[in-house]
């Protein structure tokens, strides 16, 4: 019989048995970002000085839109996990930590959603 109180589960204290998943997700998205960020740099450089119509036409191509969508998604997951570790390392107040971890998730998801919506609008928005 476990002598542990259920309260620690609710407050997420102790090992949540999710550490390995965190590690592997960070490595998987890191490997994806290795390729996708080189693509993103190439895309940004190739669109320097281009007018809006060219930018729109370029991003509307599926061969560009797909890796760009993957880039913003993978980057958002990777940076959310990374910032989570930074917050857990330096913020020890319970309330501040919980609020910052929530804001971290909001920020990462908002950036990814805004980027993804824009890519889709450039692709399908007419």
The footprint of another protein (CB under 8 A) covers 27, 30-31, 33-34, 37-38, 40-41, 44-45, 47-49, 51-53, 55-56, 59, 72, 75-76, 79, 82-83, 86, 107, 111, 114-115, 117-119, 121-122, 125
Least Cβ distance, residue 126 to another protein (angstroms): 12
Instruction: Name the nearest CA neighbour of 105 among 86, 83, 74.
Output: 83
What the block records as the tokens of 18 is 């999710």
- The answer to whether residues 20 and 65 touch, using CB atoms and an 8 Å cutoff, is no
Rg for the chain, CA atoms, rounded = 19
Burial of 91 (0-12, 13-18, 19+ CB in 10 A): middle
Least Cβ distance, residue 45 to another protein (angstroms): 6
Least Cβ distance, residue 18 to another protein (angstroms): 19
Which residue number, 4 or 27, has a Cβ lying nearer to another protein? Answer: 27
Which residue number, 5 or 61, has a Cβ lying nearer to another protein? Answer: 61
Instruction: Name the nearest CA neighbour of 78 among 39, 114, 35.
Output: 35
Which residue number, 5 or 54, has a Cβ lying nearer to another protein? Answer: 54
Which residue number, 16 or 34, has a Cβ lying nearer to another protein? Answer: 34
């Amino acid at each position: 019989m476990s002598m542990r109180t259920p309260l620690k589960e609710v407050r997420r204290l102790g090992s949540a048995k999710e550490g390995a998943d965190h590690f592997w997700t960070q490595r998987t998205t890191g490997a994806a970002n290795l390729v996708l960020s080189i693509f993103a740099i190439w895309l940004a450089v190739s669109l320097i000085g281009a007018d809006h119509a060219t930018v729109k036409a370029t991003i509307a191509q599926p061969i560009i839109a797909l890796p760009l969508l993957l880039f913003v998604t993978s980057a958002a997951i990777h940076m959310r996990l990374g910032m989570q570790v930074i917050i857990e390392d330096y913020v020890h107040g319970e309330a501040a930590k919980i609020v910052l971890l929530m804001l971290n998730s909001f920020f990462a998801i908002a950036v990814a959603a805004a980027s993804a919506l824009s890519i889709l609008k450039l692709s399908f928005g007419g």
